[in-house]
């Protein structure tokens, strides 16, 4: 599949702001342009960006209902009511439950504080009637729901009739009416004036706990040491790493990398089974290694096991539970590959695949726990919105996961046909849904028709957004140092991608890898004859052109590569283009 390169050419105003930052900060023009493109146009905002501070976090009481939530929680603790911390079975929900439970544990007892993760097969995502029945049967009078509940009006009413109050901490889009809970904490509420609306579910739980400890004169350090969990949620839930999320992720990563004082033995156990022990952990490590293992518990077994791990109090228990979760992840990989292969086989039978602007595949036997991953893989391979459907084992409903491409809001698309659905929720790039079998064909037909109308052919090839054109001589230790200060990278602060035109092989390029699928290079261009190291994964098809010493263009990120104790600058090539390729 051919990638589209999109160079974000700076405007005159952006160039003016860049030059002002260069004068004020003394940073390179390249770095200052990157800042401007991220909306950072003053020296003051740049300093806040480079040095995140806890002082930049907003007052939690700016969030609607925060005072009601704190008042009800304090009342429950004072009266020794039974409290249930309830969260979804994904990483965000699991870390949120772990954070809130850990924060409240010193001020309650094992008999008055419990936690609950719904079973994916029996209950589905979010608040369930079964979970409410569990609370009522066990004398629980207050449920703190995390990363879910914003559309659970019927469940909250059912709980109220059973004498169970709810405090909802969510970050998803609300429906037309809010649940009639004691408090609904969600910065996306239409009546919310909270300054930042992109918190993760765990982030909302953090804000609630911040208000709680402030109301009781508890030192902030008691909550600050739990920021490793918040960082894991932010990275895994793919929320923007801007504003408050940047501050929370920054300090959470510091906590994760502070091996001596990390509060979560469970996370340290996962870090060890991931092979990350002794290495500096990054957002990417969380996204691709830590997060999937926490997720695997809810996908393949019981998400409660992941909470058990994150709450582990001794190293032996943490290691045993980490090994179990690692085994779940291995099983998830095998199942994911099997179902992806089966989905591709179905797609191979489509007679009009070239004309299709979206993909919908269904098999009632597919494992519900991995269909979201399969949808992501299909979207990546075919670069079309993908919906993967299976039969729910606990009911006659069909369950689906949808993933999207740049420029197509799949949440809004599916919301258009909500009359055909029993339930749905998510965000512009990922949605979960349930539909009755008798409504399935109507949903498929209408969704494919909408995609055909709204998706331009140009959108159906991946786009690489390039931040700037630079020469190889611009890649200096000073620039690399400045780029490192822009961490943590993630949505809305992606690692900068650069383009350099007319590079050539220095004469040392070679194929590497088990199947010789990668190219290891040293590159020069017309402005510098000092070679720069580079690696191009999976791009063996360009090898002959490169070895012929013909010029080509590259887009890439700038990395530091450490090998045998030596650290060098290395370009990680994203794509290669040339007129004769």
DSSP string, 15-37: HHHHHHHHHHH---HHHHHHHHH
CA trace torsion 159, 160, 165, 169 (10° rounding): 60
Secondary structure letter of residue 495 according to DSSP = P
- CB atoms near residue 225 (< 10 Å): 17
Which whole number is the average pLDDT over 254-264?
77
Q: Is the dihedral of CA 190, 195, 198, 202 positive or negative?
A: negative
Tokens for 292, please give them.
């999937």
Q: Is the pLDDT of residue 527 over 70?
A: yes
The stretch 261-284 carries a mean pLDDT of 87
Q: How far apart are CA 244 and CA 342, in angstroms?
A: 42
Q: How many residues does the chain have?
A: 581
Residue 261 pLDDT > 90: no
350-460: which CATH topology?
A: Diaminopimelate Epimerase; Chain A, domain 1 (3.10.310)
Q: Mind listing the pLDDT tens digit for each residue in 91-120?
A: 999 999 999 999 999 999 999 999 999 988
Which three-class secondary structure state does DSSP give residue 309? helix
Helices (H), 179-314: 201-215, 221-224, 227-236, 243-256, 265-273, 283-285, 291-300, 304-310
Mean pLDDT over 349-360 rounds to 88
- pLDDT, tens digit, 9 for 90 and up, residues 183-215: 999 999 999 999 999 999 999 999 999 999 999
pLDDT band at 406, cuts 50/70/90? Answer: confident
Query: Over 90: is that where the pLDDT of 180 sits?
Result: yes
Query: Confidence class of residue 176 from pLDDT cuts 50, 70 and 90?
Result: confident
Rg (alpha carbons) of the chain, rounded to whole number: 25
Q: Is 82 helix (H, G, I), strand (E, B) or coil?
A: strand
In the beta sheet, which residues pair with residue 575?
555
Q: Which of 413, 409, 333, 408 is nearest to 373 (CA)?
A: 333
Residue 580 has pLDDT above 90, yes or no: no
| Residues forming beta bridges with residue 47, ordered by sequence position | none
Q: What is the dihedral of CA 541, 373, 459, 483, to 10 degrees?
A: -70
Class of domain 60-327: alpha beta
Assign 3-state DSSP to the chain and report helix, strand, coil percentages, each to 5: 45, 20, 35
Residue 393: pLDDT above 70?
no
Tokens of 42: 């003053």
Q: What angle do CA 534, 539, 541 make, to 5 degrees?
A: 130
Percent of the chain with pLDDT over 70: 98
pLDDT, average across residues 565-572: 88
Q: How would residue 1 be classed by pLDDT, with cut points 50, 70 and 90?
A: low
- What pLDDT score was predicted for residue 568? 87
Contact 144, 86 (CB under 8 A): yes
Give the pLDDT mean for 518-535. Answer: 92
Q: Torsion-angle region of residue 506: left (phi > 0), alpha (psi -120 to 50) or beta?
A: alpha
0.85 exceeded by pTM:
yes
29-37 vs 12-25: helix axis angle to the nearest 10? 120
Alpha helix stretches (DSSP H) within 368-496: 371-382, 410-416, 437-454, 477-484
**How many Cβ atoms from other residues are within 10 Å of residue 308's Cβ?**
20
Mean pLDDT across the stretch 240-251?
96
Cis ω for the linkage preceding 488 (within 30 of 0): yes
> What number of other Cβ atoms are within 10 A of residue 260's Cβ?
4
Closest CA to 72 of 83, 64, 61: 83
pLDDT digits (tens, 9 = 90+) for 128-167: 999 999 999 999 999 999 999 999 999 999 999 999 999 9
* pLDDT tens profile 432-463: 999 999 999 999 999 999 999 999 988 888 88
Tell me the average pLDDT across 77-83: 97
Quick one: pLDDT at residue 560? 87
Identical fold for domains 4-51+464-577 and 60-327, yes or no, is no
Reading the block at residue 341, the tokens are 């292969």
Number of continuous H segments (helices) and E segments (strands) in the chain: 21, 19
Q: Report the chain's mean pLDDT, rounded to a whole number.
A: 93
Give residue limits of the domains in the chain: 4-51+464-577, 60-327, 350-460
Residues facing 577 on adjacent strands: 553
Closest C-alpha among 65, 112, 115 to residue 88: 115
Number of C-alpha atoms within 13 angstroms, CB side, residue 211?
24
Cβ neighbours for 455, distance < 8 A, ≥ 6 positions apart: 357, 358, 384, 385, 405, 407, 408
Instruction: Assign 402 to helix, strand or coil.
Output: strand
**Cα angle 93, 420, 405; round to 5:** 60
Phi, psi for 112 (deg, rounded to 5): -115, 0
pLDDT at res. 262: 63
Q: What is the pLDDT of residue 458?
A: 85
CATH class label, 4-51+464-577: mainly beta
Region 274-289: what's the mean pLDDT?
A: 91
307-313 mean pLDDT: 94
């Amino acid at each position: 599949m051919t990638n589209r390169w999109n160079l974000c050419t700076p405007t005159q105003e952006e160039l003016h702001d860049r030059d002002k930052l260069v004068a004020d900060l003394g940073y390179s023009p390249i770095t200052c342009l990157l800042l401007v493109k991220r909306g950072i146009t003053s020296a003051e905002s740049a300093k806040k960006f480079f040095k995140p501070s806890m002082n930049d976090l907003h007052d939690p009481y700016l969030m609607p209902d925060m005072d009601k939530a704190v008042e009800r929680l304090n009342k429950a603790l004072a009266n020794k009511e039974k409290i249930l911390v309830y969260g979804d079975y994904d990483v965000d929900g699991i870390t949120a439950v772990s954070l809130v439970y850990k924060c409240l544990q010193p001020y309650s007892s094992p008999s008055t504080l419990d936690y609950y993760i719904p079973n994916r097969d029996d209950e589905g995502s979010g608040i369930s009637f079964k979970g409410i029945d569990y609370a009522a049967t066990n004398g629980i009078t207050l449920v703190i729901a995390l990363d879910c509940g914003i559309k659970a009006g019927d469940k909250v009413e059912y709980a109220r009739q059973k004498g169970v109050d709810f405090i909802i901490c969510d970050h998803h889009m609300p429906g037309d009416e809010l649940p009639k809970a004691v408090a609904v904490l969600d910065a996306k509420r239409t009546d919310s004036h909270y300054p930042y609306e992109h918190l993760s579910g765990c982030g909302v739980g953090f804000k609630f706990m911040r208000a709680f400890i402030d109301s009781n004169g508890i030192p902030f350090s008691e909550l600050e040491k739990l920021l490793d969990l918040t960082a894991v949620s932010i990275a895994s839930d793919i929320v923007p790493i801007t504003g408050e999320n940047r501050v929370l992720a920054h300090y959470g990563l510091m906590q994760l990398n502070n091996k001596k004082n990390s509060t979560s033995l469970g996370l340290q156990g996962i870090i060890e089974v991931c092979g990350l022990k002794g290495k500096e952990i990054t957002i990417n490590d969380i996204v691709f290694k830590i997060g999937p293992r926490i997720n695997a518990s809810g996908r393949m077994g019981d998400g409660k096991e992941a909470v058990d791990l994150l709450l582990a109090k001794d190293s032996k228990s943490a290691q045993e539970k980490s090994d179990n979760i690692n085994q779940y992840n291995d099983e998830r990989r095998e199942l994911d590959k099997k179902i992806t292969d089966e989905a591709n086989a179905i797609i191979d039978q489509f007679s009009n695949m070239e004309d299709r602007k979206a993909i919908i595949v269904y098999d009632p036997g597919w494992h519900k726990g991995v269909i979201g991953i399969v949808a992501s893989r299909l979207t990546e391979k075919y670069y079309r919105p993908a919906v993967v459907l299976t039969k729910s084992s606990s009911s006659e409903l069909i369950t689906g996961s949808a993933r999207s491409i740049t420029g197509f809001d799949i949440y809004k698309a599916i919301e258009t046909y909500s009359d055909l659905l029993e339930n749905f929720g998510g965000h512009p790039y990922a949605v979960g849904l349930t539909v009755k079998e008798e409504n399935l064909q109507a949903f498929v037909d209408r969704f494919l028709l909408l995609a055909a109308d709204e998706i331009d052919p140009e959108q159906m090839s991946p786009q690489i957004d390039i931040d700037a054109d630079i020469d190889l001589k611009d890649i200096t230790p000073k620039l690399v140092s400045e780029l490192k200060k822009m961490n943590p990278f993630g949505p809305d602060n992606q690692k900068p991608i650069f383009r350099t035109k007319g590079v050539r092989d220095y004469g040392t390029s070679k194929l590497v890898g088990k199947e010789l699928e990668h190219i290891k290079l040293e590159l020069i261009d017309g402005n510098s004859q000092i070679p720069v190291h580079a690696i191009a994964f999976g791009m063996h098809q360009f090898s002959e052109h490169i070895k012929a010493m013909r010029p080509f263009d590259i887009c890439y990120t700038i990395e530091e590569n450490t090998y045998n104790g030596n650290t060098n600058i290395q370009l990680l090539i994203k794509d290669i283009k040339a007129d004769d390729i």
